[in-house]
Structure 1
Amino acid sequence: MTAFIFFKEEISLFHENFEENNLENSKDTNRITENSKEYYSSNSISKTDFDNDSNFKKDNPKIEYKKRTIVGFDPGLTVGIAILDLNGHILSLKSFKEAKYSDVVREIISHGRAIIVASDVYPAPKMVKKLSASLNTKIDSPSSVFTVGSKKEMVDEFLKDIKSNFSPNNAHQRDALAAAIKTYKNYEKKFNQIDKRGKEKNLSFKEREEVKTLFINGMPITKALDLINDSKVNIKAEKSNFDNILVSDLKTGVYSNSDSNLNSQKTLIKLKSRIKQQESQIKNQEAIIKNLRDKNKLLKNKIRKQKKKSSKLKFKLEKLQQDYSNEILLEKKVSSKINIIKKLQMSYNNEKVLREKLEEKLKTFNKIKTIEVSDKAVPVKIIKSFTRDGINESYHQGDLKSGDVVFLLNSRGGGSQTASLLSKLSLKAVIILDKMPPQAKEVLENNDIPIIKSSKIGIKKGKDFAIVKSEILDKEIQIWKHKIKKQRNQDEKEKLWNVIDEYRAKRKRDSHEN
């Protein structure tokens, strides 16, 4: 399409130059013909690259070509803009604080015609979409998270490779440049392929850029190359036809006498050129429309497949959620049952231990009963410690009752209060291994509870109780009672003598006073 515009401008310029020559007659025909051929030979776009096109623009200021660019855009309070051409050269790298939208657009179009606006985040921000709509470009954004580290690494590597004087001064410029570089890298291989195949077809720099633009907009490379190449061939044919008509008319003297014929011929040529241009544009647009329709059809099929896939996944997800919920409920029920089982198991174990203890006590009790029935032996209840807790433990377990004989394994910890607990039970006798504290001994003796050393009666100790021969025990109890009675009589005599002595001493004092 650009080539058509160049050709139209060439025709206009040629006619202007032609009128300035003020042709008077057919004698100048050969000179004009040579000038025409020389002009088209030196300015034909089919034989030049971008540098020659630049010279052409200098010679013909009416013709202006705008480079195709990739714009990296980082919106925000401070806007970052990076502009690359399709060869990966940095054209601009700037940032604007609180910039107007018009200033941003002006900066971008001052460097060429943008064909892609690139963003460093996905999805693209609203400001990026607005800029893309204003410039009528595609949007390119990363498909995954573009980390700060990845951006910095990409920018540093790119600047090192191209040896550019540009360098980002802040994070906004860096993000914009990273977005533009990433987009360029995505298309770089295809751009190189277009350049290689375009040069094989003798396409100029601008024509190759047109191919790249068509490719970015969705047209396959081969189709785009053929379209631009066909347009170029049509332009060449139109030029050649124009030259032949012009030279023929000059030779036959069509322009020698009247300018009206020349003007009519010029108008006709312009109209034909315009018709060809419009036909080529229509053909180009039809190709783009067809390509977009094909792409739209593919996208619709893809959307339909994705919806079907999404529906299946949704159904699968709902089923998984239901299964998961059922599994959780089952786990809760199982957990509850397990807790109940553990509690029952614990209760069973406690009951089992208690039953074993009770069975053991029952056996002991039966043995004690058997011994009690016999006149030869007396059962002895064992108290492990001569303390309040030890006595209470034996009492609450049903081991102690009135008239029992007890065996203190350790009598050192007891006192008067501890001895009082035993006194309340009205025990038959207390057997000891070691020496009992005097306070406790006094309480028991005052309550007529015999205290007998185990070494004197030959006690036999079992696991839960002990036994002693009833004959020996009764004999020791009698000995203790006799001893206590004698001791009490002696104490009474001493008390009486003490009273008599006190009385005598008083009478003596009274007599001395008189």
Structure 2
Amino acid sequence: MEKIPPGNAAGRGALDRPGGRGDLSIFGVDIASGSPGSRRAPSYSLVILEGDSLVPHHMISRHKLIRMIRERQPEIVAVDNVHELAESHRDLINLLRRLPSSTRLVQVTGGERPESLVRLARWNGITFDRTKPLEEAEASARLAARGVGAVVSAFEDRTLIKVSRRRSLGRGGWSQNRYTRKIHGAVMSLAREVERQLREAGLEYSLRTVEGLGGFTRAEFLVEAPRDKVHINAGYSVDAQLKVQSIERPALQYKPLLHRRGYIIVGLDPGTTTGIAALNLRGELVDLISSRAISSSDVIEWIAARGRPLIVATDVSPTPGAVEKVKRAFNAILFSPGTDMAGEEKIALGKELGYRNDHERDALAAALAAFKRYKNKFMQVEKKAPAEVDPDEIKALVVRGYSIENAIAEFTQASPPEGRPSTAAPAATPVTGAAATDPDAAGLRSQIQQLTEQVRTLRSYVDELRSQMAKKDADLQRANERLDRAKDKTLREIKREHEIRIREKEIERLRSILRAERKYTKRLKRTVAARKRAERIEAVKGLRRLKPVAAFSREAVLAAAERYALAEGDLVLLEDASGGGRSTAEIFREKGVAAIVAEGEMAPAMQEHFLDLDLPVFTSREVAVQRIDGLPFIRPEELEAAREEWGVQQKARQARREAERLESLFQDYKAERMKEEKRKKRMEQREKMGRREGYN
């Protein structure tokens, strides 16, 4: 339910701003000649009211009037009839679209059922000559400055933004797809920019797009805000265009320019779901609402924001306590039907104005029944009320017990001059028995009564607010306690989730290790199976197994050592003997390999190195290799024969190397002896030469 500050209940509105109403810029307009529907173009009288200054313009065209409005951007354009500005409803809608978003078009005579401009002017102490358009335009401006009139609203508080292509795709050609993607991409880019601006402005919106090749063919934003709140301007680029417009209402809507607290009849249906209806004293619906779990203070606030309750009505008997409370808060007159109203009667009363549920129906039926009770008297007041008196003030006195004549006399009879007795008839004396007073005294008494009602309402409202504040303090305390518990729970959840993440990482690490171990286990199983198969073959056929090494490289030797578990005494099949190096050959020696059967040619240097390592290396020609189930085997007798031959060759090699070593030693000794002989000869020659020199 919308909250209305207490100040609004006292009648303050949009025109009550710092600096007074004189700060407003108001255009008063009246048609001077012609009409929008005739062949002759209309001319207008314009009065610009700004504070105490008044600037008249007579006989200006409609085009110039609109141009001046767009240039000056006044807060209000006031007319006595909006159809003086437009030929038709559609023309009026187009005019409203052309007005600045901050400018309001006001029909000062009212909305659906307008009052006479002359009567409204009299009520507000304004006089003018109806035959002079400039004075009539001035009267409209001054009435609007006082908050009289209704704002003409043709648009909802929603805005439609359309983004579409600016150029046609044409019939196509070789580059048609690229051209289409370029245009659709431009539409999508512009739509994204609009969406970004709406998000930055914090506006609610819904988006509907039609996808095309490479982007959007069009995009429509429905923004939940009036046009003046959407700071996006229409425009276009080379390939895309942007249109911004308010959403048109099905029919024109008239909203009061200043929410005056006029008299209203309130229908109330209390309960778990409360229904409230408000009618003015002409039987027109002011507002209708239903809400769950609404407090008494909210009900009083809602009613006060919509007027001064004259009658509070219910549809049941006895009167509920909630209705009595509202009636006492406003010092209103209670209406009760005496018995519970029948459902058929409620439906018949409410169907003309319409309702959404049973609670609204009951509240509306109660208000309409109360209006029906006083309808005839209200019609008589309308006929008898003087033009200078507001009929609603007379109706209020009639409802409170005054006769129509006495109520009228309360506002029209003047007090007698000082020292002279009153000549008023006794019948004109109010029911209260007080002497007739002048209009100023009657106005003051009415104002005092209004202020008294307002004070009583506000005091009740303050009590409700205090009670509500205490309740909200308790609710806040409970909410803080729940918040603390929620924080503790959240911290526990965060800690738990942190532990879960740690455990999940550990589980993943262990799973990775498990997968590696399973792979290793499978390899071991295959190796064990191959070993057992080889052992069976060895046992059955009397062969010796060879453990294959794919290549003569360090990586291949280490891989085979891990796979086949090379150990001391094993026989190795070197499937590719090319390449290799001394360090690779020494791995076989470290593993204790008994012999190697090599396929392919091995480098002579490596053959010599294996001989130095005392590691037999046989070729596949020397020892025949048999493959059974993919496993290599050799016959033990062939291995022994090859080993004996290798042993003979190794002994011969060792003997040859020993002889070469002794020969090398002999040659070294011989060379040393020759060097020694040469040294002795040089010494002897030096001694002979020394003796000769001594003789001389």
Relative to the length of structure 2, the TM-score reads 0.35
Greater RCO (CA < 8 Å, at least 6 residues apart): 1
Structure with more helix by fraction? 1
Q: TM-score normalised to the size of structure 1?
A: 0.45
